[in-house]
Amino acid sequence: MTTDLRELLRTTAAEAGNTVDLAEEAVAERIRHRRARSRRLAIGGTALAAAVVIAGTTWAVRPGDGHPPAASGPTAAAVPPRIVTSDVDNLSGMEAALQATLTTDANGCVRPAAQSDVVLVWPRGYTVRGDSTSFEILDAANKVVARSGTPITMGGGGADRFQPTWTGRDCATGGPLWMVGGISARR
Amino acid sequence: MVADWEPAFRALLAARGDALRSYAYLLTGDASTAGDLVQEALTRVFSRRRIGGDVNELEAYVRRAMLNQYIDSRRRLRRWNATRHLLVDLPHHDDDRLAVADDVRRALATLSSKQRACVVLRYYEDLPVSEIADELGCAEGTVKRHLADARAKLATQLGVTEESTP
């Protein structure tokens, strides 16, 4: 059987050369896309790992009771909190995730507590209210989407550079830019 | 700028593209599905962050990805395959060589995914039982059983003589 079956399989396999399309260029393009995406996810993963390590040792989070919990850290309550907003109305559709607890830096700029170099870029129309120790982020419809001191997961992904049409340039430290996507409570 | 993976990708397809086509075709029995199988395996392997430049090594990775994908997808599509013949006319060829290939594909289609993988690896790729067991992540005895069961089915359908050992 061995010989016969081998011959039969070879005969059958010979059909493949003419009929099986490898779509080389399309596959190459798909690989490029996936590699770019995994680079973005790697940035998010690194940020997450750093957040987990540093959050436990650097920042303390006070549980809330209906009011926005206070952000702690080297902030001055007198400085009003500020955010960077883009010129896009919608949340970023990118699929990486950043887990963070929001706080403000010494200039009042809202940042992830454990990654103070990351610049959060919120959609156009988003605002912040409260003070730099206890604040809320509101969307364009004035609905609260995040509170200081509360651990959240932000979808989104990185951006290459700060655009001239965005607000809050003085909050851009030169660190990674995170286009904020969907926000959910951290599980 | 051409990334490091791209020259390796082009070199693999230039050197081993036909072999990958044949392998996929024997596993799936269908040109379109075979194309999808190779394309997805290539995408998975070359989307990894670090890619070596050795064509033989890359081919082995792609084949392993194809095999895993084929077995997984067959599990998911078992129900569809059970009724597919009621909905789709399998192609028929009058040319003798093509007709033989049709018969072989039909016969292979009656095997389970693991039986079929064992047959292709043993009788087309000429791998020893120990390597097939390694590829499929199972015991050698399991491979021998799959081969014996497959041979029994193929002996009836293709009219070939059954041998006693793989």
- Alpha carbon of B44 to those of A26, A27, A41, A105: distances in Å? 14, 10, 16, 42
Task: Kindly calculate the radius of gyration of chain A based on its CA atoms and give it in whole angstroms.
Answer: 24
Give the pLDDT band of residue B18 (cuts 50, 70, 90). very high
Rounded Cα gap, residues A101 and A186, in angstroms:
9
Residue type, B99: A
pLDDT of residue A62: 46
Q: Is residue A13 part of a domain?
A: no
Q: Do both B110 and B161 map to the same domain?
A: yes
pLDDT of residue B166: 47
Contact B81, B111 (CB under 8 A): no
pLDDT of residue B146: 94
pLDDT at position B94 over 60: no
Q: Do both B8 and B79 map to the same domain?
A: yes
Q: Does B97 touch chain A (CB under 8 A)?
A: yes
Q: Is residue A87 part of a domain?
A: yes
Q: Do both B113 and B65 map to the same domain?
A: no
Task: Give the chain B residue nearest A36 (alpha carbons).
Answer: B47
More confident residue, A45 or B164: A45
Of the candidates A120, A133, A153, A125, the one whose C-alpha atom is nearest the C-alpha of residue A68 is A133
Give the pLDDT band of residue B87 (cuts 50, 70, 90). very low
Contact B19, B59 (CB under 8 A): yes
pLDDT of residue A173: 79
Q: Do both B52 and B102 map to the same domain?
A: no
Number of independent structural domains in chain B: 2
Contact A72, A149 (CB under 8 A): yes
Q: Identify the burial level of A111 via C-beta atoms within 10 angstroms of its C-beta, where 0-12 means exposed, 13-18 middle and 19 or more buried.
A: buried
Number of independent structural domains in chain A: 1
Rounded Cα gap, residues B43 and A24, in angstroms:
10
Task: Give the chain A residue nearest B124 (alpha carbons).
Answer: A6
Q: Do both B109 and B129 map to the same domain?
A: yes
pLDDT of residue B37: 93
Q: Is residue A166 part of a domain?
A: yes
Q: Is residue A25 part of a domain?
A: no
DSSP letters spanning chain B: ---THHHHHHHHHHHHHHHHHHHHHHHHS-HHHHHHHHHHHHHHHHTSS-----HHHHHHHHHHHHHHHHHHHHHHTHHHHHHHHHHSPPP---SHHHHHHHHHHHHHHTS-HHHHHHHIIIIIS---HHHHHHHHTS-HHHHHHHHHHHHHHHHHHH-PPPPS--
Please tell me which of the candidates B43, B97, B123 has its beta carbon nearest to residue A5. B123
What are the tens digits of pLDDT across the range B131-159?
A: 999 989 999 999 999 999 999 988 888 87
In the DSSP assignment, the letter for residue A15 is T
Instruction: Report the gap between the CA of A7 and the closest CA in chain B (Å).
Output: 9
Q: Do both B149 and B107 map to the same domain?
A: yes
Domain stop point among B65, B88, B111: B88
CB contact under 8 A, B22 and A1: no
Give the pLDDT band of residue B45 (cuts 50, 70, 90). very high
Please tell me which of the candidates B22, B46, B104 has its beta carbon nearest to residue A31. B46
Rounded Cα gap, residues A69 and B10, in angstroms:
56
Rounded Cα gap, residues B53 and B4, in angstroms:
9
Instruction: Report the gap between the CA of B78 and the closest CA in chain A (Å).
Output: 23
Q: Do both B1 and B79 map to the same domain?
A: yes
Tell me the mean pLDDT in the region B113-128. Answer: 92
pLDDT of residue A83: 92
Q: Do both B110 and B160 map to the same domain?
A: yes
pLDDT at position B1 over 80: no
Domain stop point among B88, B113, B138: B88
Rounded Cα gap, residues A11 and B107, in angstroms:
14
CATH at B101: 1.10.10.10
**Which residues of chain A lie closer than 8 angstroms to B47, CB-CB?**
31, 34-35, 38
Q: Do both B51 and B14 map to the same domain?
A: yes
Q: Which domain holds residue B108?
A: 90-166
What are the tens digits of pLDDT across the range A95-134?
A: 777 888 899 988 889 999 888 888 999 999 999 998 888 9
Q: Is residue A20 part of a domain?
A: no
Domain stop point among B60, B88, B116: B88
Contact A183, A126 (CB under 8 A): no
Q: Identify the burial level of A160 via C-beta atoms within 10 angstroms of its C-beta, where 0-12 means exposed, 13-18 middle and 19 or more buried.
A: exposed
Task: Show Cβ contacts of residue B65 under 8 Å, excluding neighbours closer than 6 positions.
Answer: B40, B41, B44, B45
How big is the CA angle at B142 (ends B138 and B143), to the nearest 5 degrees?
85
Q: Do both B4 and B84 map to the same domain?
A: yes
CATH at B5: 1.10.1740
Q: Is residue A66 part of a domain?
A: yes
- Alpha carbon of A37 to those of A32, A33, A48, A50: distances in Å? 9, 6, 17, 20
Q: Which domain holds residue A60?
A: 36-185
**Which residues of chain A lie closer than 8 angstroms to B3, CB-CB?**
32, 35
Q: Do both B117 and B69 map to the same domain?
A: no
pLDDT tens across the length of chain A (187 residues) = 444 888 888 888 888 877 888 899 999 999 998 888 877 777 777 777 776 676 655 554 444 444 555 555 444 456 789 999 998 888 877 777 788 889 998 888 999 988 888 899 999 999 999 888 899 999 989 899 999 988 888 888 888 888 888 988 888 878 888 889 888 876 5
